[in-house]
Amino acid sequence: MTIAGEPGGGLVDRYGRVATDLRVSLTDRCNLRCTYCMPAEGLAWLPGPDVLTDDEVGRLIRVAVERLGVTEVRFTGGEPLLRPGLPRIVAAAAALTPRPTLSLTTNGIGLARLAGPLRAAGLDRVNVSLDTLDSDRFAQLTRRRRLPDVLAGLAGAADAGLGPVKINAVLMRGVNDTEAPELLRFALAHGYELRFIEQMPLDAQHSWDRAAMITAAEILDRLAAEFILLPDPVARGGAPAETWLVDGFTAPDGGPARVGVIGSVTRPFCGDCDRTRLTADGQVRACLFATEESDLRGTLRAGADDAELARRWRAAMWGKRAGHGIDDPSFLQPARPMSAIGG
């Protein structure tokens, strides 16, 4: 058994889970203001000096890959495409041995232009967030009229070979909840893989309401009105999405088309969680919903060597809780909103 702090050990927690999937937030800023994520006026952004430099991010990713067994790195934010050094950070991660799988979660604005350079830098895949195909609803939901940019970004990603291109959609009651079949039709027609995410209590405004959340069961019911969904024979492993095969449809690789549902609230998957998170200001979080963080930026800037950084990271993950506890009466929403954690 690996003990926390043991040289060479991976990111093991006291429940025996091993984190191999690193989510790196590159900025807390965003060019959209999705109503379920951020207020219209934005937030108090992280002060510039607190944000890790490109070299500091690169070093922590290297420590995670070389010393801690991380095999997948996903860049997120905020909006990661706003980070000027993104291609350089991707290229540095792609040069590591063993080479991690590299992916990006983005709102897609600017992706039409950046997909090629990011692919050339070594990015493997993208997830693009898209909650509606109606341009007025998009403007209402994101407070920006940018739907054409997102659609162009999706197409650009597919053209650049960043596949399978996945779409993340959050459904909200009375806002876009009638769009589930239409979003799936769109994804199937373009060869994108759609994932619905249950809305989580991570908004900056703290206005999440369980009753307003569209549950995984409701999403599946709505899809079943138009599609036949079959159990996916491929094992889920630590993946957040439960997936189904969409009967009669084919993916761009010739295999069966899939749709996924991430039921973080009603179908939690914490027992299989393999994620560790690094915020843009260098804090390790063991869970999206953690109320504790471990400061790697201070350790790094104080001159720690790689072994010490790895030791601190292991210790942070050892304390990961068994579950997110949303259903626990004592649940407290973390102070950091989703945009500053990295979804």
By the criterion CB under 6 A, which residues form the site for ligand SAM? 30, 36-37, 76-77, 79, 105-107, 129, 168, 170, 197, 199-200, 202-203, 338-339, 343
What tokens appear for 270 in the block?
A: 């914490």
Shortest distance, CB of residue 6 to ligand SAM, whole angstroms? 33
Shorter beta-carbon distance to ligand SAM: residue 291 or 299: 291
Shorter beta-carbon distance to ligand SAM: residue 241 or 310: 241
Shortest distance, CB of residue 5 to ligand SAM, whole angstroms? 32
Task: Give which of 36, 29, 154 is closest to 79, Cα–Cα.
Answer: 29
Shortest distance, CB of residue 247 to ligand SAM, whole angstroms? 26
Beta bridge partners of 23: 74, 277
Shorter beta-carbon distance to ligand SAM: residue 105 or 294: 105
Shorter beta-carbon distance to ligand SAM: residue 106 or 276: 106
Shorter beta-carbon distance to ligand SAM: residue 68 or 262: 262
Which residues make Cβ contacts (< 8 Å) with residue 112, sequence separation at least 6?
A: 149, 152, 153, 155, 156
Secondary structure class of 320 (helix, strand, coil): coil
Shorter beta-carbon distance to ligand SAM: residue 89 or 200: 200
Q: How far is CA 168 from the centre of its chain?
A: 9
Shortest distance, CB of residue 90 to ligand SAM, whole angstroms? 15
Shortest distance, CB of residue 115 to ligand SAM, whole angstroms? 15
Task: Give which of 77, 5, 88, 89 is closest to 315, Cα–Cα.
Answer: 5
Shortest distance, CB of residue 290 to ligand SAM, whole angstroms? 16
256-262: strand order across its sheet: 229-231, 242-250, 256-262, 193-197, 166-170, 125-129, 101-106, 72-76, 21-25, 275-278, 283-285, 294-295
Shorter beta-carbon distance to ligand SAM: residue 69 or 137: 137
CB-hemisphere CA count at 13 Å for 83? 28
Shorter beta-carbon distance to ligand SAM: residue 208 or 318: 208
CB closest to ligand SAM, residue no:
343
Task: Give which of 88, 21, 50, 43 is closest to 203, Cα–Cα.
Answer: 43
Separation between Cα atoms, residue 221 and residue 112, nearest integer Å: 34
Separation between Cα atoms, residue 335 and residue 62, nearest integer Å: 28
Shortest distance, CB of residue 131 to ligand SAM, whole angstroms? 7
Cα–Cα–Cα angle for 202, 29, 75, rounded to 5 degrees? 80
Shortest distance, CB of residue 74 to ligand SAM, whole angstroms? 10
What tokens appear for 93 in the block?
A: 């991660």
Which residues make Cβ contacts (< 8 Å) with residue 280, sequence separation at least 6?
A: 25, 26, 27, 28, 46, 51, 52, 77, 78, 340, 342
